[in-house]
């Protein structure tokens, strides 16, 4: 029997996941679609055999024909929808952010911990990208010695018109936050955001690019350039420098072609959909497998969970404060050990 998934929100990411679950993922199908734009939901559902539209997101979660939920709705709706998943015992893959502020993220962590089951996975897809997996494996095997410094670059060709300076922190930099926590396996304790002179091509008032500096519990340094209006392509690069050497991923070295008159080069992915296509595929396949296995283990996730979503929210909140003050801001978060089961 196939896992019956409800996909809530069929914008860019949700629609991409519907296509993925329908065409590339084994053991699962999209049984229910929900979107605030019901005609969009109807149009997509009509292309999938056995799929129907449920107009209310909470009804979609509670539906008896739904085994698991994929949340790709706007961030401000996540808290209520995640709490409904917990209430109905439905495993959920939640696109980032977990919720849009620190308090509600912590409330979700606590509600899940009280239930005593790992139901919530957060869509930090980079952890499933082959290159990030290789980098992590090098570190874990001790091949780089102790990691000392991490350098990140995160460039988008463009962002939607409503994107503001704080969204560069909460929507874009948040991935470097998760990558840092994933690679170094420790919490980030402070953030500083530096605003160099803005790209003249960026919309008026958008602080782009931004340079973020993180310190971690053991005093490691991470810097990240986030530049979302390059007009070029989608580029994500991470370099880890350790005691015994360094390693870098995201060099975009696919096919290198040489042509007259003496030029060489290749191609760069236009957006995260292509750059992280493999990561999304393996993220969702492993999640489906974990949900199926969860009935026996009580653990319905295989990847970052609610705690990781909360930690990211706490670091980004400090980042948004630093964006305003220019100062280094300490990250305010509770001890993980203070929440049994988190």
CA distance 169 to 255: 33
Residue 272 interacts with ligand ISE (CB under 6 A): yes or no: yes
- Residues 109-128 as x/- pattern, contact with ligand ISE by CB under 6 A: --------------------
Closest residue to ligand ISE, judged by C-beta, is 172
Helix (H, G, I), strand (E, B) or coil at 17: helix
> In whole angstroms, how close is the CB of 163 to ligand ISE at the nearest point?
7
Residue 129 interacts with ligand ISE (CB under 6 A): yes or no: no
Residue 156 interacts with ligand ISE (CB under 6 A): yes or no: yes
Q: Which of 171, 235, 283, 308 binds ligand ISE (CB under 6 A)?
A: 171
Cβ-based nearer residue to ligand ISE, 22 or 172: 172
Cβ-based nearer residue to ligand ISE, 96 or 118: 96
Q: Which residues pair with 53 in a beta bridge?
A: 33
Residue 172 interacts with ligand ISE (CB under 6 A): yes or no: yes
Cβ-based nearer residue to ligand ISE, 79 or 178: 178
Residue 308 interacts with ligand ISE (CB under 6 A): yes or no: no
> In whole angstroms, how close is the CB of 271 to ligand ISE at the nearest point?
8
262: exposed, middle or buried (C-beta count within 10 Å: 0-12, 13-18, 19+)?
A: exposed
Dihedral, 273, 279, 285, 288 alpha carbons, nearest 10: -80
Cis peptide bond upstream of 97, omega within 30: yes
**Contact between residue 270 and residue 197 where contact means Cβ atoms under 8 Å apart:** no
Residue 105 interacts with ligand ISE (CB under 6 A): yes or no: no
Cβ-based nearer residue to ligand ISE, 131 or 171: 171
Backbone angles phi, psi at 241, to 5 degrees: -110, 120
Number of neighbouring beta carbons within 10 Å of residue 189: 17
| Helix-strand-coil split of the chain, %, nearest 5 | 40, 25, 35
- Interface with ligand ISE by CB under 6 A: which range of 170-178, 199-207, 209-217, 251-259? 170-178
Radius of gyration of the chain measured on its C-alpha atoms: 20
> In whole angstroms, how close is the CB of 66 to ligand ISE at the nearest point?
25
CA distance 64 to 305: 25
From the list 257, 245, 299, 281, the residue with the least C-alpha distance to 112 is 299
- Interface with ligand ISE by CB under 6 A: which range of 171-179, 213-221, 306-314, 330-338? 171-179
Helix (H, G, I), strand (E, B) or coil at 285: helix
- Interface with ligand ISE by CB under 6 A: which range of 14-22, 133-141, 168-176, 289-297? 168-176
**Contact between residue 244 and residue 90 where contact means Cβ atoms under 8 Å apart:** no
Q: Which of 17, 90, 175, 181 binds ligand ISE (CB under 6 A)?
A: 175
- Residues 210-229 as x/- pattern, contact with ligand ISE by CB under 6 A: ------------------x-
Contacting positions for ligand ISE (CB under 6 A): 156, 159, 171-172, 175, 228, 272
């Amino acid at each position: 029997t196939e896992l019956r998934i409800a996909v809530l929100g069929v914008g860019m990411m949700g629609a991409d996941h519907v296509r993925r679950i329908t065409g590339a993922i084994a053991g699962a199908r999209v049984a229910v679609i929900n979107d605030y734009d019901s005609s969009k939901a109807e149009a997509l559902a009509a292309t999938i055999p056995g799929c129907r539209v449920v107009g209310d997101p909470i009804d979609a979660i509670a539906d008896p024909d739904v085994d698991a939920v994929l949340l790709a709705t706007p961030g401000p709706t996540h808290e209520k929808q995640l709490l409904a998943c917990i209430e109905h015992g439905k495993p959920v893959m939640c696109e980032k952010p977990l919720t849009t502020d620190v308090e509600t993220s912590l409330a979700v962590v606590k509600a899940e911990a009280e239930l005593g089951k790992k139901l919530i996975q957060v869509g930090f897809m980079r952890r499933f990208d082959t290159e990030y997996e290789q980098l992590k494996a090098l570190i874990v095997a001790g091949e780089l010695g102790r990691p000392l410094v991490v350098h990140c670059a995160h460039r988008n060709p463009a962002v939607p018109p409503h994107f503001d300076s704080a969204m560069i922190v909460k929507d874009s930099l948040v991935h470097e936050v998760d990558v840092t926590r994933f690679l170094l396996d420790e919490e980030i304790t402070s953030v500083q955001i530096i605003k160099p002179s803005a790209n003249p091509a960026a919309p008026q008032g958008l602080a782009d690019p931004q340079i973020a500096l993180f310190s971690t519990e053991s005093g490691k340094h991470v810097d990240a350039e986030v530049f979302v209006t390059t007009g070029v392509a989608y580029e994500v690069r991470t370099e880890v420098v350790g005691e015994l050497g360094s390693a870098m991923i995201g060099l975009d070295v696919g096919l290198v072609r040489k042509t007259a008159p003496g030029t060489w080069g290749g191609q760069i992915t236009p957006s995260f959909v292509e750059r992280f296509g493999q990561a999304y595929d393996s993220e969702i396949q492993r999640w489906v497998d974990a949900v199926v296995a969860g009935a026996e283990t009580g653990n319905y996730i295989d990847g970052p969970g609610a705690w990781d979503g909360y930690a990211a929210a706490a670091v980004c909140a400090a980042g948004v404060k630093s964006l305003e003050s220019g100062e280094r801001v300490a990250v305010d978060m509770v001890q993980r050990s203070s929440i049994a089961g988190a």
